[in-house]
Amino acid sequence: MPKETKPAFSKQTEYVMGSRAAMVRKKRRSVDWETLIGGISDGNAPIEYGKNHNIFRQGAPADSLFYVRRGKVQLGVTSGRGKEAIVAVVSAGEFFGEGCLAGQPLRMGTATATCVCTLMRIEKRLMVRMLHEHHDISEQFVAHLLVRNIRYENDLLDQIFNSSEKRLARILLLLVHYGREPRSETVLPRINQQALAQMVGITRSRISHFMNKFKKLGFIEYEGAGLAVNNGLLSVVLND
């Protein structure tokens, strides 16, 4: 049986609870997930995936979850008729594939690396044991999932009520973690316009039209293999 390491904690000052909720400020102990996962993963080293590499496919056995150390992972679903949709993009510091903990026997979607990613794979049995034995860690894990689910709920409301231009602007800001970075401009790996079309729910030609518009307005700029997003793009989201 592998040795368990004690979780390392640091101060965390706030949780963002979504656009419809107020900012909740509360001092909590934050789990050092990388150290903790490294202590329960049977000595398995982090795994690196290249761009466009499938981490798991829809319908595969759901026997583990993943923690993103570096990069971004796209979560997509394919219907029985072959129609594809991107339902989320997770970034460093987030988990995905946790449906296995809720009893899902098979993967409900496909996870694909959108750039070079470093992930930590956690066996279901090990994560279940850790959550049962460490209630403080379990509490933090649930809080992490709740914050993310509120974000997904806001994504759904955005899809229903906002224009396609606003939806695209919001997705770009989310991809660069708007609000977490002090810089006015953040660069992310250039994302495929077809992938953006699937996320927004419009055609690729409309995505191209809006991206060209954002570029002319100085809100985005292509930099080699990257895309720079200026915080001024927020004006598109806030404009009525």
pLDDT in tens, 13-23: 233 233 333 33
- How many Cβ atoms sit within 10 Å of the Cβ of residue 157? 12
Higher pLDDT, 205 or 41: 205
pLDDT value of position 42: 63
The alpha carbon dihedral of 65, 95, 49, 130 has a sign of negative
In this prediction, residue 32 has a pLDDT band, given cuts at 50, 70 and 90, of: confident
The least confident of 33-47, 73-87, 107-121 is: 33-47
In this prediction, residue 111 has a pLDDT band, given cuts at 50, 70 and 90, of: very high
Higher pLDDT, 17 or 145: 145
Gyration radius of the chain's alpha carbons: 19
pLDDT mean over 213-226: 88
Structure token digits, residue 54:
């499938």
CB 152 within 8 A of CB 18: no
The least confident of 16-20, 38-42, 121-125 is: 16-20
| DSSP label at residue 101 | G
pLDDT value of position 240: 57
Determine the Cα–Cα distance for residues 178 and 169; give it in Å rounded to an integer. 11
Question: Residue 101: pLDDT above 90?
Answer: yes
- What's the pTM value of the predicted model, to 2 decimals? 0.67
Q: Which residues of 60-91 are buried (b: 16+ CB within 10 A; e: fewer)?
A: eebebbbbbbebbbbbbeeeeeeeeebebbbb
Give all domains of the chain, ordered by start, each with its CATH number: 9-159 (2.60.120.10), 163-238 (1.10.10.10)
pLDDT tens for 158-214 read 777 788 999 999 888 888 876 555 555 667 777 888 888 888 888 999 999 999 999
Cα 66 to Cα 13, 157, 172: the distances in Å are 25, 27, 24
Structure token digits, residue 17:
């609870």
pLDDT value of position 156: 78
